Structure 1
């Protein structure tokens, strides 16, 4: 099994369409999808994100980091939420993404999440992280 992050991206048009959809209707569609993931035993985490206008951006382009109120760049650079799935393959992650309730114009980027076992186990920082994961029940 491997973990994959499904990153949900919208456009101005798909976001406008989403905002026109009754909240209870969105909850119904997303809730059914989430329930399928739970029943299949592949859901690790899933969260939507607050409006990008409420966030901040830390830009490391200058000598000292510069903090500005969000959002940054174009809508296509923003993501609105994510799922982390523990599945057998990238192909399985793609199949789940294809079933995700999404508005036309939206996109879903799929990226593998490397596990801690893939890093040098003799590295002191990996040892610290492994101990933290063990203490918090994440390993």
Structure 2
């Protein structure tokens, strides 16, 4: 099962403050543990919302774009990990080991699979999704060379 561990933003992360050398060293050690255990598929930190934008959909083809920063810090994320683990409990155990101090928060959510969409994901749509995944994998392989 795939789980995403979502790092909640804080006033500090939204201020644009970057981690200290010590914090980066601790996070690198944690990421090395994930990699050594073979569970980490992806991980990244995000810059503050001042570097982002929000796109809101009003109707067919109608959108509104609002540039950051955004005021509701509790609704923002500052980073993530995607893990391949055997269970929700294992994902939670990894989340408990994140080297955050008081006030840090990580949300653990299961990543949806094709089966979660039931009959709405028709065989034709499944085939199209599979082709997209294969094309993306090929693109990543070519970039890695």
Does TM-score exceed 0.5, indicating one fold? yes
More displaced 10-residue stretch of structure 1: 29-38 or 110-119: 110-119
Runs (5+) with no aligned partner, structure 2: 139-145
TM-score between both structures, scaled by the size of structure 1: 0.83
Matched, 1:89 2:69: no
Aligned length: 135
Q: Which has the higher contact order (CA 8 A, sep 6+)?
A: 1
**Structure 1 residues 38-81: Cα deviation after superposition (integer angstroms, max 9, x where no partner):** 00000000011111101011122467211011133410000000
Over the residues paired in the alignment, what is the CA RMSD in angstroms? 2.6
Runs (5+) with no aligned partner, structure 1: none
More displaced 10-residue stretch of structure 1: 54-63 or 117-126: 117-126
1:1-139 to 2 correspondence within 5 Å?
Answer: 2-12=1-11, 15=13, 19=17, 22=20, 24-61=21-58, 64-119=62-117, 120=119, 122-137=122-137
TM-score between both structures, scaled by the size of structure 2: 0.80
